[in-house]
Amino acid sequence: MNIPNFLTISRIFFVPLLVAALVQQDVKILVRGMVLTSDWLALAIFLVAAVTDLLDGYLARRWGQVTTIGTLLDPIADKLLVSAALISLVQIRAIPAWMVVLIIGREFAVSGLRSIAAAEGYTIAASELGKTKTISQILAISTVLLSLRHAFFLVPAYWLLWAVVVFSVLSALDYFWKFWRRVDAKVKNRRRRELLVMARLERRRRLAELRQRSGSGLGGGSALGDAREIT
């Protein structure tokens, strides 16, 4: 296992730790005489996991270690981390549930869209809106975690969450437009060609059956005439 894949897999293992730190709000850890509460622990876990998200792709491209398993696991790990953080924040009533439903629903929709596009031989690359959405998600979740004990961060967290919602919707529309313009047209043309080929094959099959029936009919008439002559 190379280092980029190790970072990706470690991000998946950070997910249950993050959920436990957020849901169990009475967690306190003593570090060198300082009390580390659950919100600070959750923030530390989330930021470390976010850093692995930035490093694994960069190192894989730089060192030429892009693998199939890394390509498959990286988006899964990203969505697990963000979804777990958002759902846990809903659980402790830190953010509105409708925002989380919209954000996570967008992730599922775009993932399904990319899967369909990949099956058709077309890769939908991450757009600038998508990258901006990811950065705004990290900033928003981090600010919400800070606002759990520091009221000063409530207003910035509120506006950052709205920024995530806006960028999520805009990036989803952008991805769907790309799909509709390229992949959907390609799929329709391919299916149209397949239907034409099937229609031609069906026509040939029917013609062959008609020829076979007419040939067998002529053969039967000839045999009957021979029988009459012998009689």
Measured CA to CA, the distance from residue 110 to residue 141 in angstroms comes to 21
List the chain domain ranges.
3-187
User: Which superfamily is assigned to 3-187 in CATH?
Assistant: CDP-alcohol phosphotransferase transmembrane (TM) domain (1.20.120.1760)
SS3 content of the chain, % helix, strand, coil (to 5): 85, 5, 15
pLDDT of residue 192: 76
pLDDT of residue 37: 77
pLDDT of residue 57: 80
Q: Coil, strand or helix: which one is 31? A: strand
Q: Residue 195 is inside which H or E element, if any?
A: helix 185-230
Measured CA to CA, the distance from residue 226 to residue 52 in angstroms comes to 90
Find the helix packing angle between 3-23 and 68-91, rounded to 10°.
10
To 5 degrees, how large is the angle CA 174–CA 50–CA 95?
70
**What is the distance between the terminal CA atoms of the chain, rounded to a whole angstrom?**
89
Find the helix packing angle between 97-119 and 154-178, rounded to 10°.
30
Closest residue by Cα to residue 48 from 89, 13, 83: 13
Please state, for a pLDDT cut of 90, what percent of the chain lies above it.
Answer: 30
In the beta sheet, which residues pair with residue 34? Answer: 31
Measured CA to CA, the distance from residue 174 to residue 230 in angstroms comes to 84
pLDDT in tens, 33-48: 666 678 888 899 999 9
Q: Per-residue pLDDT for 54 more than 50? A: yes
pTM, full prediction: 0.74
pLDDT in tens, 101-141: 999 999 888 888 877 777 767 777 677 887 888 899 999 99
pLDDT (average), residues 63-84:
84
